[in-house]
Structure 1
Amino acid sequence: MYRYRITAEIRRDLERIELLRERFDNRGTLPRRWLGRLRRDLEAESVAASTMMEGVRVTVEEVRRLLAGDTPPTVDELSASLVLGYRDAMSYVLRRADEPSFAWHAELVKAIHDRVMGGAFGLDAGRFRTIPVFISDGSDGEPVYTPPAEDLVPDLVDGLAEYLESSKELPAPVVAAFAHVRLAGIHPFKDGNGRTARVVAALAMYRGGYRAPEFTSLEEWWGGHRGEYHTAFDCLGKRWKDSSDVTPFVAAHVAAQRIQADALSLRLATQREIWTAIEDRVE
């Protein structure tokens, strides 16, 4: 199993994240119209960022229209299916997260992937890969990372599920980071691994008590910092190694969580002031 240390830097970020959670949880009742619009904006931005990171060429405005049921003529059928699939995967895990019988297991990961890939049979949605794969840097096609052999995948995903099931006492941002890097390292599917890993990380945050929308998705941050995102995976090395030290990834992930929560806290406060001023003028 991957190793990591909770460094002093990670502890500082965890303290800040916990402070922000308390602030979000105690912010009082928000105007329904305003809160609904904010959540729709956050959803469109996160879905657009995550799908664009995987090569689906859509804009935030196109995603906003897709989520509203209005398919733009500029978006092809497959792209639309993947955008809606990612939205459905996030909705699925948030619905499941509060179930009293909830448990982490490999079939849950498969179900998430099935939705991420829009249920497309041709894309092996919800099915572990049965072939070897490698990850290239996209420029010269040379492999930058080789995941484990396909016959190891089922047991490795089972092991990750066991880790998640037994990590209830650990800080949720650390668990989310570990789930993200471990699933990405295993690379259990032919495609859609990054999106699936990010949804699993969001679910780990929600299960850990971070239920405000500011905490359940890091896509917008990673989408704007793709270089940092890919660099964070350098700790995995060139080939699969079950005992890799992933402290650098955990640190980067927790820091991104803190930075995004801070930014969204400021955005929330600013928009609240604007809406309050508008309502005062209307009244």
Structure 2
Amino acid sequence: MHTFDYRFLKTFKVDPDILNRAVKIQALMGRSVIARKTAGSVLKGLERRAIIMSVADSNAIEGIRTSETRLVGLISGRTAPLGHDEKEIAGYRDALRFIHTDHEKIVLNKESVLDIYSILMRYSELNEPGFKTRDNVIVDRDLEGTILKIHPTVPKEKTEWAVEQAIWAFWEARNDPDINKLLLIPCFIMDFLRIHPFLDGNGRMSRLLTVLLLYQEGYDICRYVSLESKINAGKNDYYRALEQSEIEWDDNKNDYTPFISYFLGQLFLCYRELDRSLGIELSGNKKSNALEVYLRLSNLPVSKKELMSMFPDVSESTVELVLKRMSDAGELKKIGAARSTRYVRRR
């Protein structure tokens, strides 16, 4: 049986690529705090878009769908769910909102996991309170439906014990200042999926817990950008990383590196999208200073060409003027030369 122990992360030999991603994400997270204070109206628009995409794509990963028109109505609460898929969608909507609203009050423990699960499944005909009452497996199928592989999960009689062990190990590591929490979160989520503690909804629960744990470490990116959409866009990579990381899991010989790398890659993409989304939203405000506001909020280098694409109503000469003025004022740092020139906000 697997032993849950994340203390190995203290001496974990981090791949340079993984380390680079983690460092960039942590830097971006700190700098995005400023953006929230100065772009409230813009971020509200991003929040609305993110929750729609998150609800749609987290369910789509599991093959749960409805029409775009009904989806918007379901998320707003104006449309009552009909049929199995829409009830599953409505449950995810409620659970995600609960986490967005109450993440500071939620303490990760067995009871809170069951509470979130009860919200997720509140409309479903498959709702069975508590952990699984019979054994289950994870099935891989090809596009034609042929079963390719069966992944065993923790037996029902050991499920509650395994969940508690994983949570206690998480808290032990979380309280250790020498362990990077961006490495810890994907390890815990991978273990949760390997336990597969419920008869239904395990994948969606894992994504809800990911959002919660990121919030609690100060990474509120999922409020503005859908991590679930990133996963759905490349779910083959998601499943491949999980499969690679679970090899010899029962014998405590598995390597979490593939899933850690995957997780950090998707999180970094979310921060990149936040930068681009801020530009698009600000351009829609039709304010004369939208370009300058974007540049003051942007966390990543951007070229003149990219700015012109995001702000089609702003002339090339105006873009050049703004870039020169802000660079001369010391607000922007110029990187590269000629066509590769990019600009980034100075810290």
Give the aligned partner of residue 190 of structure 2: 181
1:17–1:257: 8 Å Cα contact kept in structure 2?
yes
Letter in 2 for 1:256: Q
Give the aligned partner of residue 113 of structure 1: 117
* Alpha-carbon distance between aligned partners in 2 of 1:173 and 1:215, rounded to the nearest angstrom: 19
Give the aligned partner of residue 306 of structure 2: none
Q: Percent identity?
A: 22
Give the aligned partner of residue 343 of structure 2: none
2:139–2:150: 8 Å Cα contact kept in structure 1?
yes
TM-score after normalising by structure 2: 0.71
Structure 1, gaps ≥5 residues long: none
Change beyond 3 A, Cα 1:250–1:215: farther
Higher mean C-alpha displacement, 237-246 vs 110-119: 237-246
* Alpha-carbon distance between aligned partners in 1 of 2:289 and 2:121, rounded to the nearest angstrom: 42
1:53 to 56, 61, 64: 61
| 1:155 and 2:156 are equivalent in the alignment | no
2:127 to 124, 128, 136: 124
Letter in 2 for 1:187: H
* Alpha-carbon distance between aligned partners in 2 of 1:177 and 1:196, rounded to the nearest angstrom: 14
| 1:12 and 2:5 are equivalent in the alignment | no
Tell me by how many angstroms 1:205 deviates.
0.5
| 1:205 and 2:214 are equivalent in the alignment | yes
Match of 1:137, SS state, is: strand
Give the aligned partner of residue 34 of structure 2: 26
2:136 to 133, 137, 153: 133
1:67 to 62, 75, 83: 75
Give the aligned partner of residue 104 of structure 1: 108
2:138–2:151: 8 Å Cα contact kept in structure 1?
yes
Give the aligned partner of residue 80 of structure 1: 86
Match of 1:135, SS state, is: strand
**CA offset digits 1:155-191 (Å, max 9, x no partner):** 1100111122221433333232122211111100111
The structure with the larger Rg is 2
Change beyond 3 A, Cα 1:219–1:278: farther
* Alpha-carbon distance between aligned partners in 1 of 2:86 and 2:157, rounded to the nearest angstrom: 32
TM-score after normalising by structure 1: 0.86
Tell me by how many angstroms 1:276 deviates.
4.2
* Alpha-carbon distance between aligned partners in 1 of 2:99 and 2:134, rounded to the nearest angstrom: 28
1:118–1:125: 8 Å Cα contact kept in structure 2?
no
Tell me by how many angstroms 1:210 deviates.
1.0
Change beyond 3 A, Cα 1:264–1:214: farther
2:53–2:226: 8 Å Cα contact kept in structure 1?
no
Letter in 1 for 2:121: M
Aligned length: 275
**CA offset digits 1:17-46 (Å, max 9, x no partner):** 1122123111132253x4322211110001
Change beyond 3 A, Cα 1:240–1:15: closer
Tell me by how many angstroms 1:214 deviates.
5.2
Change beyond 3 A, Cα 1:277–1:125: farther
2:135–2:155: 8 Å Cα contact kept in structure 1?
yes
Letter in 1 for 2:211: A
1:129–1:189: 8 Å Cα contact kept in structure 2?
yes
Give the aligned partner of residue 199 of structure 2: 190
1:146–1:238: 8 Å Cα contact kept in structure 2?
no
Letter in 2 for 1:189: F
